[in-house]
Amino acid sequence: MKTRSIISSALVAVMLVGGLSTTAFAVGGPSGPKVKYQVQGHIGEVRLNPYGLTPLTAVVGNGGYILKDIKVTIVPKQGGQTISYTVDDQIAKTYGGVPIFGLYPSYANKVEVSYTRGGLHIKDEKFNDKYTIVTNGVGFIPSGILSQPAIPFSKVTVKKVDKKFADRLYLLNNLAENSHGKEAQAVWNNPVGGALEWNNDSFTYIVDTQGEVRWYFDKDKLLNPGDIYNTGIQMGFRQNSDGALTWGYGQRYVKYDLMGREIFNRRLPLAYNDFSHSLDNMQNGHYLLRVASANTKRPDGKNVRTVRDVVAEVDENGYVVDDWNLFEILDPYRKDVIMALDQGAVCLNVDASQAGHTLSEADIAKLDSSNNFGDIASTGTGRNWAHVNSVDYDPNDDSIIISSRHQSAMIKIGRDKKVKWIAGAHKGWGDKFKKYLLQPVDSKGKKIVCDDEYSKCPGYLNDEGGFDWTWTQHTAFLIDSKSNKDVVYLTVFDNGDARGMEQPAIASMKYSRAVVYKIDQKKMTIQQIWEYGKDRGSDWFSPITSIVEYQKDKDSVVVYSATAELGNKGKPAPELMEFNWGAKEPSLQIKFEGAGLGYQAMPISLEKAFNKKKK
């Protein structure tokens, strides 16, 4: 075993012009072309940010050797979190060397790499190399306004990290609080409508359990705010089974790996527009995109672009397989929840001057009779009547499960476009939907009696009966490993606006919850089996965004209350937590301040990304 220590400044190319150096350089022959670069250890050079999109990654070139038995360790700061992972030889060939992930920004990172090098006519040798790799700071372009600096967050407070979760890395997808003039400069007018103007800036980065940034995606190198087909809010991040990330923005959906390598970057199929919120990776390799229709003829003969009410299925090559036009499947004129919404925070349309205001029957009627289409919280095709913020595929019966914020309902719909069940308050659903409304039950299967319209159940104001619906919820995600054809489990973030189909007398009465439901699809019942957040009150209330998702690897539930404190303090302070299954209190708890509007967060697996053989 041979060991060597190397110092590498990967910020600049090192060129020798005279003088002496003890560092080895690759050069050409006496009469051939010269290639000058610093030789790093016993293989090749360090290439920081190899694809130009992930500045806290690097590749150590293979130097012409064949590499195997690779292990990488990023030595932590004092008291920090070690990142260590193995790399299989397939991945080493993909990157032409050893992928380095998890560097600290603005830091001289100590990196240890062990490997076996060899080749066709070269004897295998094992090495342990040590590197110092220097990085720049997190490089988001500043917004130019004081309230949104070019940093992921201004303060982080690690409240709790149990040993079980100490090795976690979490991807955070947050959004700017205010536009700074580079976005939202266009609207659709042929036909009219859509949500093109809905275009905040967005930030995506990975933190460790000490709240340290260990990766970020340089969205400023990807987006072009002056081109409507190459800009938009980056949302719907998912880590695929191959370790790469998929997400969408505006009129595109994309796939990149953690090193920044582009796998695909595609325009939406032309029948659709305005991706946002959710991209689901189906088990068969297809993708479910939450989009809208690029051209739909309403019953009154008007052509419009719709708003957040279409799910399209595309295959691996981008061909459309199927779609669910929700304005045809559901009732776009159900107005009960829309009339109860707090107009001060209708998803990302945050307007403090409208806090507590709601829409009246007259307001709805006026909008319905107008030609005002687009991102308007109202009824009818071409307006924001559904606001679908998540879609998840259930392979047990070839169905999709959607979360509709503006109907305060989670709904299962089959491949035949028929509703299978509706989890939400019963008020306002027409006769054709009533047979699909779920009945709340307790742990013994006993019917829970709610008010006449099943809007206020016993858990609405207290814990008696242990049940409440979700209100303006986000992320109705299936727990695949615990579900089957008869019974499904869902994790949901119950934001809590318009709870009970009304606004409370005092804003501080609002609260959010992380919830797990058990749905018996044969008996058409729904049971609440776990909740968190009610006792936290308005301090933990997230009026918009957020996520709850089960994690099979640790039998746990990740919760991101992404706009906590926005409602009562005016500035969001997202809080990330992870719970052991069924636990009443979190095992990990981290609070971020100055992070803009949080959207979603999720664990990231380096094993998926760098070691295909272990999957």
Q: What HEC string does 3-54 produce?
A: EEEEEECCCCCCCCCCCCCCCCECCCCCCCCCCCCECCCCCCCEEECCCCCC
Q: What is the pLDDT of residues 84-117, one digit of tens each?
A: 999 999 999 999 999 999 999 999 999 999 999 9
> What is the overall mean pLDDT for the chain?
91
The closest alpha carbon to 185, from 248, 143, 227, 141, belongs to 227
Instruction: Please answer whether residues 351 and 297 qualify as being in contact, where contact means their C-beta atoms are separated by less than 8 angstroms.
Output: no
End-to-end CA distance of the chain: 29
| Cα 564 from chain centre | 17
Q: Give how far Cα 508 sits from Cα of 145, 291, 469, 566, Å.
A: 30, 34, 20, 12
Helical residues (DSSP H) of 96-149, grouped into ranges? none
- Interior CA angle at 308 toward 147 and 373, to 5°? 90
Spatial CA neighbour of 416 closest among 327, 322, 480, 490? 322
Tell me the mean pLDDT in the region 69-89. 97
Q: Is 487 exposed, middle or buried (0-12, 13-18, 19+ CB in 10 A)?
A: middle
Q: What is the pLDDT at residue 33?
A: 76
Asked whether 543 and 567 are in contact (CB, 8 A), the reply is yes
Which two structure tokens, joined as six digits, stand for 150? 């070019």
Q: Say what the pLDDT of residue 10 is.
A: 41
Instruction: State residue 343's pLDDT score.
Output: 81
Q: What is the pLDDT of residue 91?
A: 97
CA neighbours closer than 13 Å in the CB half-sphere of residue 513: 25
Share of the chain above pLDDT 70, in %: 90
pLDDT band with cut points at 50, 70 and 90 for residue 30: low
**Of the candidates 474, 461, 460, 588, which has an alpha carbon nearest to the alpha carbon of residue 542?**
474
Tokens 């349309």 found at: 349
Alpha carbons 562 and 542: distance in angstroms, whole number: 6
Show the tokens assigned to 491: 């994790």
Q: Residue 324's pLDDT band (boundaries 50, 70, 90)? A: very high
Active site residues: 474
Q: What percent of the chain has pLDDT over 90?
A: 81
Would you state the structure tokens that stand for residue 404, as one six-digit string?
């509709």
Model confidence pLDDT, tens digit, residues 472-500: 999 999 999 999 999 999 999 999 999 99
Per the CB < 8 A criterion, the answer to whether 518 and 489 are in contact is yes
Which residue reads 């890395």 in tokens?
169
Q: Has residue 150 got a pLDDT over 80?
A: no
Average pLDDT score over residue span 520-528: 98
- Write out the two tokens for 395: 């392979």
C-alpha 190/C-alpha 187 separation (Å) is 9
Q: What local confidence, expressed as pLDDT, does residue 225 receive?
A: 87
Q: What is the pLDDT of residue 139?
A: 87
| Site of tokens 């560097």 | 103
pLDDT at 568 (0 to 100): 81
Q: Which residue has the tokens 């018996």?
A: 520
Residue 164 CB: number of other CB atoms within 10 A?
A: 14
Between 147 and 285, the more confident residue is 285
Which are the contacts of 241, defined by CB distance < 8 A and separation ≥ 6?
281, 608, 615
Q: Which helix (H) or strand (E) holds 337?
A: helix 336-340
Residue 462 pLDDT: 58
CB 566 within 8 A of CB 143: no
